[in-house]
Amino acid sequence: MSEPSRLSQDRISLPGVLPGEAPLPQPGTVIESGFTLADDLPPDLHERSRQGWPRSMHPYLQQDSYGRDRTDLSLATVVLENEHLRATFIPALGGRLWSLVSLPDERDLLYANRVLQPANLALRNAWFAGGVEWNIGTKGHAAHTMAPLHAARLRTGDGAPLLRMWELDRLRGTIFQVDAWIPVGARALHVYVRIQNPTAIAAPMYWWSNAAVPEADDVRVLAPATTAFSTATDGPVRRVPVPVRGDLDVSYPTRSSHAADYFYDIPDETDPWIAAVAGDGHGLMQASTGRLRGRKMFCWGTSTGGAHWQDWLSPARGQYLEIQAGLLPTQFEHTMLPAGQAWDWLEVYGDAALDPQIAHGGDWPTALEIGGRAARGLLLDPDGTLSRARALADESPVEILATGSPWGAIEALLAGEDRAAVSAGTPFPDLANRAPAGRGGAPAASEGAHPAGDVATDLWWALVADPDQAGSMLAAADPAVPPASYAAGERWLALLAGHEPGWARDYHLGVLTHAAGDLDDAERHYRNSLAQHESAWARRGLAQLAAERGEPAEALAELQRALTAPGVAGSEAERTLVMEAMTEALRARLPQEALTIAARASEPVQRLGRVRLLRARAAWSTGTAAGVSLARELLLAGIEVADLREGERELSDLWSAAFPGEPVPSRYDYRMS
């Protein structure tokens, strides 16, 4: 007789850093770098790669305020468990499935990082390695990856407890939910995912479930394919054979010298699955119903740069690779989710438990055959299980366990009858009786809620529910303090336009039109804002427009004006403005101006690794003996950039220029190819 599954709340403690939000918007910044597809790839893949790309991550703010000085953290968790498995989730960190322990041998099937160290790999900058993350919206680690989700307890038809997590994706206007449970007696964690598009227009859609697993020399990645689309070398994404490419068996990630992606070209008639199997045949297997067809393996490679990235993301010296599952064959594509519709699927995560001799043998088809049988053993009765999950998807939660953002409720209030009703299964906070801060205060946020609470969204709620209060808030806004949050879309533009002109109203109109790509209208609104009252924020808006138009000298001039505006010196915004001004000075080939900006910055800003790197670049770019000496001095003293972007080579390139013929120190070597 199998024991009933259990759901409990607990905490984990570990050293780490939680990121803070930047105070300034990025309405014109595309985060992810470009890519090229080989001409001979399938035409439908090319077609999907050309659609759905967002202009920026607006209205989200960047999460770029963090360092590498870690403190002891205590994080709330939700644990699902039966006699075979224990799954631990962290709702406050994007619902991350932190660990999945096979209880008979206490083996964690996932890579559970022992340190929570953000790095600049996500669409909003901050991301951390480990566990399983749920990515929606567009290519990259999602906007919510280090932000809280709503979470609740429910119960399945067989009595097993169910954890539901959900949130609004503000980039696409869609609602996603992740239902996780372990059926009675099951050896696999079951995860039901649904994406609802309640809007009146089709939404470009992207989803990838990314699992980090322990890496070792004996770990082999199996997926039911004989070819893959690979980014493993310089040049375009190409189709390559697997497992053997040239003289290298790429199914063993530690045999790759450089970072590599392999998107497996799984035949349409084949059930999708992927597994990372150790030498004893055990390891994580992920399988799903047919809608989630894509499968990918990512490894960092064994180069100095790849090893450095592993250490950077996992300071406790853990090594990992990723196996991933997505809606489409690659992560370079979007597909359109029709208006008012929903897509869903079922995923399972469990121990592959394969015969090691076959799994690691030289007969790839036979290895895939036993892998397919194991996948079917974990995903029993897929049609029936998916049907039962659908029947539960709209059931109201029994108990709220964690709170996400209020934006789902605010956007539903804004859209009114022009939007499909929000499912009772994914409720957002009831704002009917809400009063903005200053008029009775905002309700207390539960643990895991956005650090700013509801105060950050008071203006947007009032614009819809209490226009008089919104007008008062706009009129009273302090130009020395940047707005707490931003919105996007024509409806917000119309609501704001109905209010009296003022610096705050016109600044928000500028950001809204800027995010929509209407640069001329954005400039008009920013200038109208400045005509009402000087502010660093509208000045920066003009600078961003100039930068987007390829006018770095003009961008620099506006940023220099912004740096002298009230409210900047010593504020969180100073950091952003100094780095942007130094960057534009370098683009304008005015390195001495960049050095002057750094010298005028407050001491905490001067100490930032990014500012020190920009200062070293500027010093080297002067071409003077004093400049060269300063650049070398800074490099020798040590420059640690906490939010170094994946793919950045500035540190290694600058070292090679400053010290020709000398090897790049490992601390500066992040080269991935």
What DSSP assignment string belongs to 372-414?
A: HHHHHHHS-SHHHHHHHHHHHTTSPPSEEEE---SHHHHHHHH
Six token digits for residue 195: 């994406």
Amino acid at 448: G
> What is the mean pLDDT for each group of 10 consecutive residues in the chain (673 residues)?
87 98 90 82 96 96 96 98 98 99 97 97 97 97 98 94 98 98 97 97 98 98 98 84 96 94 97 99 99 98 90 91 98 97 98 99 98 98 97 97 96 84 88 45 34 70 96 97 97 97 99 98 99 99 98 99 98 98 99 99 98 98 98 98 91 97 93 79
Residue partners of 518: CB distance under 8 A and separation at least 6: none
Compute the distance between CA of residue 234 and CA of residue 382 in angstroms, rounded to an integer.
40
pTM above threshold 0.85: yes
Contact 353, 374 (CB under 8 A): yes
Six token digits for residue 124: 């909003």
Instruction: Compute the Cα dihedral for 63, 566, 590, 30 and give only its sign.
Output: positive
Angle between helices 591-600 and 572-587 (to 10 degrees): 170
Six token digits for residue 499: 């209010």
Residue partners of 491: CB distance under 8 A and separation at least 6: 414, 415
Q: What is the 3-state secondary structure (H, E, C) of 662-673?
A: CCCCHHHCCCCC
Contact 260, 238 (CB under 8 A): no
Annotated domain spans of the chain: 6-68+96-392
Contact 323, 221 (CB under 8 A): yes
Most distant CA atoms of the chain, gap in Å: 80
Residue-level pLDDT at 33: 62
Residue partners of 601: CB distance under 8 A and separation at least 6: 574, 578, 611
Residue-level pLDDT at 450: 33
Torsion angle defined by CA atoms of residues 665, 668, 669 and 670, in that order, rounded to the nearest 10 degrees: 170
Residue-level pLDDT at 234: 72
565 closest CA partner among 549, 584, 541, 546? 541
Residue partners of 366: CB distance under 8 A and separation at least 6: 358
5 closest CA partner among 110, 89, 102, 84? 84
Q: Is 640 helix (H, G, I), strand (E, B) or coil?
A: coil
Residue-level pLDDT at 422: 81
Q: Is 560 helix (H, G, I), strand (E, B) or coil?
A: helix
Q: What is the 3-state secondary structure (H, E, C) of 282-319?
A: CCEEEEECCCCCEEEEEECCCCHHHHHHHHHHCCCCCC
Six token digits for residue 399: 């108990």
Q: Which residues of 340-361 are buried (b: 16+ CB within 10 A; e: fewer)?
A: eebbbbbbbbbbbbbebeebbe
123 closest CA partner among 261, 242, 30, 232? 30
Long-range contact pairs involving 237-246 (C-beta distance under 8 Å, separation at least 24) = 237/35, 237/36, 237/37, 237/38, 237/41, 237/330, 237/332, 238/38, 238/41, 239/38, 239/40, 239/41, 239/265, 243/364
Residue-level pLDDT at 55: 94
Q: Let me know if domain 6-68+96-392 sits in CATH 2.70.98.10.
A: yes
Q: Is 259 helix (H, G, I), strand (E, B) or coil?
A: coil
Which phi and psi angles does 229 have, rounded to 5°?
-95, 120
Six token digits for residue 40: 């001979």
55 closest CA partner among 518, 671, 419? 518
Compute the distance between CA of residue 426 and CA of residue 420 in angstroms, rounded to an integer.
13
Compute the distance between CA of residue 402 and CA of residue 400 in angstroms, rounded to an integer.
6
Angle between helices 467-476 and 458-465 (to 10 degrees): 140
Residue-level pLDDT at 435: 46
Q: What is the 3-state secondary structure (H, E, C) of 195-221?
A: EECCCCCCEEECEEEEEEEECCCCCEE
207 closest CA partner among 129, 107, 261, 288? 288
Compute the distance between CA of residue 385 and CA of residue 505 in angstroms, rounded to an integer.
51
